[in-house]
Structure formats: structure tokens, C-alpha cells
Amino acid sequence: MSERIEFRLSGSGGQGIITAGIVLASAALYDGKNAIQSQSYGPEARGGASKAEVVISDSFIDYPKATIPNYVLCLTKEAYRAYGENANEDITVMADSSIEIPEGKKALTAPIIETAAKEFRPMVANTIALGFIVGCTGVVSQESVIKALLERVPKGTEELNEKALYKGFEFADTVMGR
Amino acid sequence: MAEKNKILLQGNEACVLGAIRAGMKFYAGYPITPSSEIAEKAAELLPKHGGKFIQMEDEIAGIACAIGGSLAGLKSMTATSGPGFSLKQENLGYACIAEIPLVVVNIMRMGPSTGLPTSPAQGDLMQAKWGTHGDHPVICYYPSSVREMYEYTIKAFNMAEKFRTPVLVMTDEVIAHMRAGVEIPEEVEIIDRKKPEWGKSYLPFKVTDGEEIAPLAAFGSGFRFHVTGLAHDEMGFPSNNPLRNDEMIRHICAKVDKCNDEIVESAEHFTDDAEVLFVACGSVARTALYVVKQMRSEGVKAGLLIPKTVWPFPEKALKALSSRIHKIIVPEMNMGQLVYEVERIVKGDSTVTLLEKVTGELFKTEEMYNKAMAVIKQ
């Protein structure tokens, strides 16, 4: 069971959290791994908090949801309160820089939302976040995530999304000291 | 290393792809959470595969229209969830007595009534068997993976065509909504209904000694016959002849019952030397498998039986296991349904303990582990 890598991606509805989860799972398949993606449904998924989970493994995945996730992405304060704040020390929280995180907490942060709005378009915050996750964890190859991303984004936004993904890789290099 | 060339599919999408692979040419239904993606995907794909999609005014009309499509000669399907499954019961019985092939998908959410539309449950297991009145056969597949959604939808069409009876594909919201990699098989077996030959007398409801199932002509293809929900004679016209009533009911049950061994499917994990047996379906079976592996790593000899057909239930497989495993644990996302069937079959050979869950959430691994360990230590 130790080879399971679990992600919980959270933010607000419309941020593309679920698409990011689908792209991550799809990239894992391209790398020859197994992946299962699931997401929150119902009223809570409309405008409020949005959550996607991805489990990646080299072997068969039995339980399809996150048990204790290895990584939790939080793009909003609300998402951090719901999924990041109480995360134990085994969990790496990956968060937008706008979220205040107490000192001593294991967290990797990047200015995802602000960069999307200023340098790209707000809609690609999820793609920057995806690049950040993949860059920091190396859970899937960069080649596979690019392939999976370009297949899932709306036509005409491929170049924008690819650049946003590379921005996420850059942020990862910075926080990982590469 | 896992196999390559897999595509990422949602359970509900895999169901539609399987249906189209099986030859579905007609879908009639009324979208309802958490089955709506089935209607959505069928609407998108059927016209591209020479088929037709129609959204009806409600769930009753959905199944009635699918029955009509099938009678007209097209492989037909409808999909729904609890509230819609309740509404469809009368017409399910109609398809049983009129011997009409049909696939009905039911994605289980928490009930009763409107309940929790987006939450998983397993509260319809007994409804699938007893929901429509009268004696009738039930074939009900319960996929526990996205790949199985594809495979068992194909099998459901095959069994419907072969036995001229409605077949259920039932799973919970977790399996329907999760996405996983599926390798689409290159070859699959496809069964088409037998059609009558021109020039010979045609009796669509004739029962022969060998229990052979009469062919089914497409309505409007030139053969004249009658179709009714009333007890009927060999031509399909209403009859209340006691001998014919007996023959007809015994026939619709026996045509499926005598092939139980061919229909029943189950999977076993770590049962060879097991001292504790879990019996679980669908997404709950996935939690159970995780827990079984965890217990094994700690020296507890646990095993798992997963019924892939809930109806007919894998009775022989369970009987063989319960003759040597004396502790059985049945986790379910309901107040206890599968457990009744397990108790009926083991008949006191083993102690059977129900782990119930009605919070509208999938069993978590730690929760099932703790509850099961408490039972094991008793």
C-alpha cells in the first residue's frame, strides 16, 4: 500500500480543480501507471468548495479515494480551512501564496492565482497549479502531463495552457531549490 | 508495470461505450443524478452509431419507450437511479412477462425517496430482486470497476437477448462517477436475439419441452402477434387457462434459473486459507479488499468474496467457502440487505455479522478495518 500516491486538490467551483485532477490521472496512464480520479458532487460543487482526488500507483488500486493524502492542494482560504489546516505532518500542503499558513507547517507555496490573473488569464490557475504539483512531486513525467493537458483543454487555449504549465514547473524549481 | 494503451473513462461513460459495443441502437430515459452522464453520453454517441436517443417526460415513459424500441427490433437501454427505479418497476414486470429483451441501469444513491441525490448507497439490492410483483427471473450485474461497467453492460445485453428478459446493471455512485484507465478489449462476444424464419408458423410465446426460448420477431416486420402484460397464450393473446398460466410462469422463471451456473459470476481474493470472509459488492468491495490486504500484512487470515451478479447470487461459491470459514462479515451501504441472502445460504454454518453504513459516504478503510477487527476479536 505504500506505493499509493494520493492527491486531494481543492479550491472553489469554476477554478478547474476537477479538470486538473482528470489531467493528472490521464498523465499517469500515459506513464504506464494506474490512476483513479474522483470528485465532489452536489450542491457543494457549484460555486462553493470543489474537490478532486487522484490516486496513482504502479499496481492495482483497490480503495478508489484518498485515505490520508500525500499531497493536498489548496487554492483558496476556504479550501485550506477544509482540507489543509488539519493536515497532519505526513501530508504536504501545496497552497496559493495568498493563503496564510502558520510557521512550522509543512507547505509548498507559489503565487498561482496572482500569476494566472496578471501574466495569463485567471482560468489557467488550475494549469499553473498542475505544473507546480508535477514539478514538485515528479509523480508523472512532464512529457505525459503536457500530452494529457493538451488533449483536455478547450481548442484555441493550448498555447496559453502550455505556457501556464511551464510557469508551474518554474515555481516548483524555485521552491525545490533547483 | 501497468498495461499501456488505457483510456481514462468515467464509470457511466464506460457503461455507454459497452452498450454501443454490444449493439445498442435505442436509448429512452429521463436523466437523474447520479446516472445522468449515461443519458448524456448516449445522446452524444448513439446518432454517430446509427442509433436514436429520446428523452421522455418521466422515468415510466423512459422504460416504456425502451420496451417499444426493443419490440421493434433494436437493442434498447434505459438508465436511472433510486426514485426512477421505483417508477420503472411496473414496466420491468411487463418486460418479464412479455419476454422483451431490455437493459436497465440503476446507479444507486441514498434513499428512500429523493434521499441524497449525489451520495452513494446500496439500498436497492432487494428492490432489484423483489421490486416488481409476481414471480419473475432477475439477472442483475454489479460492476465494481470502470472496466467492469464496460464488460458487464455488454454481458447484460447478451443475456437480455439470449433469454428474452430484462437485465439489470446496478452499481453505486462511487463506481459510476470515478474515472480510471480502461483498456478496451479487441474482441468481445456479442449475442443477438433469435428471429423467426419466414414461411413457418410463428408462435412468439410457445413453450417447448426442452425449454427452448421462442424467437422474437421485430414488431412491424411482417409477423403478426400480440403483446400484453396479461397472462397470455402462445400468440400473445390474453388467456386465463390454468394449465397455460402454470406453463407460462414456470417458463419465464426456468429459462433463466436452469442457466444459473452459466450466468453467476463472482471473484475471490485471498480465500484459500482464509479464516474470516468478507462478502461485499461494488465500491464497498474495493474498501474491503484494501482492508483484507492490511489484515493479511498483520497476520490476520482474511479473504473476500465479491458477487459480480447479485442476482442470481453466487450461492455455490459462498456455500463452498462457508463450509470451512466460520466467520463472515458483510459490509453494506444500507441497513442490511445482502446479509439476508448470505444468511439464507450459509444456514448457520458460520456466524454472519453485518457492518451497516447509511451516512451517504463510501466506507472508509480505517472505519471498516476497526469495525471488522472488533468482530474478529469477539
Q: Which residue in B has a C-alpha nearest to residue A21's C-alpha?
A: B179
Q: Are B154 and B22 in contact (CB under 8 A)?
A: yes
Q: Are A132 and A110 in contact (CB under 8 A)?
A: yes
Q: What is the pLDDT of residues A134-168, one digit of tens each?
A: 999 999 999 999 999 999 999 999 999 999 999 99
Answer yes or no: is pLDDT of B4 > 60.
no
Give me the CATH number covering residue B213. 3.40.50.970
Same domain membership, residue B321 and residue B332 = yes
Q: Are B66 and B102 in contact (CB under 8 A)?
A: yes
Q: Which residue in B has a C-alpha nearest to residue A55's C-alpha?
A: B180
Q: Total domain count for chain A?
A: 1
Q: Which amino acid is at B335?
A: M
Q: Report residue A42's pLDDT band, with 50, 70 and 90 as the boundaries.
A: low
Q: Give mean pLDDT, residues B122-133.
A: 98
- Determine, for residues A41 and B34 on separate chains, whether the beta-carbon distance falls below 8 Å: yes
Which pLDDT score, from 0 to 100, does residue B114 have? Answer: 96
Give me the CATH number covering residue A53. 3.40.920.10
Which pLDDT score, from 0 to 100, does residue B199 have? Answer: 87
The pTM score is 0.96
Question: Is the minimum CB–CB distance between A152 and chain B shorter than 8 Å?
Answer: no
Q: How is residue A97 annotated by DSSP? A: T
Task: Using a pLDDT cut of 70, give the percent of chain B over it.
Answer: 98
Question: Is the minimum CB–CB distance between A38 and chain B shorter than 8 Å?
Answer: yes
Which pLDDT score, from 0 to 100, does residue A46 have? Answer: 59
3-state secondary structure of A98: coil
Which pLDDT score, from 0 to 100, does residue B2 have? Answer: 45
Same domain membership, residue B145 and residue B7 = yes
Question: Is the minimum CB–CB distance between B12 and chain A shorter than 8 Å?
Answer: no
Which pLDDT score, from 0 to 100, does residue A13 have? Answer: 84
Question: Is the minimum CB–CB distance between B34 and chain A shorter than 8 Å?
Answer: yes
Its domain, for residue A101, covers: 5-175
Residue after which a domain boundary falls, among B238, B263, B288: B263
Q: Give mean pLDDT, residues B41-54.
A: 98
Q: Which residues of chain A are within 8 Å of residue B174 when distances are taken between CB atoms?
A: 38, 64-65
Same domain membership, residue B92 and residue B113 = yes
Same domain membership, residue B282 and residue B249 = no
Which pLDDT score, from 0 to 100, does residue A45 have? Answer: 54
- Determine, for residues A32 and B177 on separate chains, whether the beta-carbon distance falls below 8 Å: no
Q: Which residues of chain B are within 8 Å of residue A39 when distances are taken between CB atoms?
A: 177
Q: How far is CA B196 from CA B164, B218, B234, in A?
A: 14, 9, 14
- Determine, for residues B293 and A35 on separate chains, whether the beta-carbon distance falls below 8 Å: no
Q: Give mean pLDDT, residues B89-100.
A: 98
* Gap from A7 CA to chain B (nearest CA, Å): 14
Answer yes or no: is pLDDT of B3 > 60.
no
Same domain membership, residue B324 and residue B204 = no
Answer yes or no: is pLDDT of B1 > 60.
no
As for the ipTM of the complex, it is 0.95
* Gap from A120 CA to chain B (nearest CA, Å): 28
Which pLDDT score, from 0 to 100, does residue B179 have? Answer: 98
Q: What is the pLDDT of residues B219-259, one digit of tens each?
A: 999 999 999 999 999 999 999 999 999 999 999 999 999 99
Same domain membership, residue B294 and residue B236 = no
Same domain membership, residue B107 and residue B36 = yes
- Determine, for residues A1 and B283 on separate chains, whether the beta-carbon distance falls below 8 Å: no
Q: Which residues of chain A are within 8 Å of residue B179 when distances are taken between CB atoms?
A: 22, 25, 36-38
Same domain membership, residue B365 and residue B256 = no
Please give the distance of CA A76 from its chain centroid, rounded to a whole number: 13
Answer yes or no: is pLDDT of B206 > 60.
yes
Same domain membership, residue B92 and residue B5 = yes
Same domain membership, residue B283 and residue B248 = no
Its domain, for residue B157, covers: 1-263
B24-29 and B75-81 beta bridge pairing: parallel
Same domain membership, residue B300 and residue B219 = no
Mutation site for B-interface testing, chosen from A65, A67, A152 by largest number of B Cβ within 10 Å: A65
Question: Is the minimum CB–CB distance between B296 and chain A shorter than 8 Å?
Answer: no
3-state secondary structure of B261: helix
Q: How far is CA B364 from CA A63, A82, B322, B336, in A?
A: 9, 18, 26, 18
Residue after which a domain boundary falls, among B231, B263, B295: B263
- Determine, for residues A29 and B1 on separate chains, whether the beta-carbon distance falls below 8 Å: no
Q: How is residue B232 annotated by DSSP? A: B
Closest CA to B29 of B14, B17, B46: B46
Q: What is the pLDDT of residues A66-96, one digit of tens each?
A: 999 999 999 999 999 999 999 988 999 999 9
Which pLDDT score, from 0 to 100, does residue A106 have? Answer: 85
Q: Report residue B99's pLDDT band, with 50, 70 and 90 as the boundaries.
A: very high
Task: Using a pLDDT cut of 90, give the percent of chain B over it.
Answer: 96
Give me the CATH number covering residue B360. 3.40.50.920
Q: Total domain count for chain B?
A: 2
- Mean pLDDT of the residues in chain B: 96
Same domain membership, residue B316 and residue B171 = no
* Gap from A98 CA to chain B (nearest CA, Å): 31
Answer yes or no: is pLDDT of B132 > 90.
yes
Residue after which a domain boundary falls, among B202, B235, B263: B263
Which pLDDT score, from 0 to 100, does residue B260 have? Answer: 97
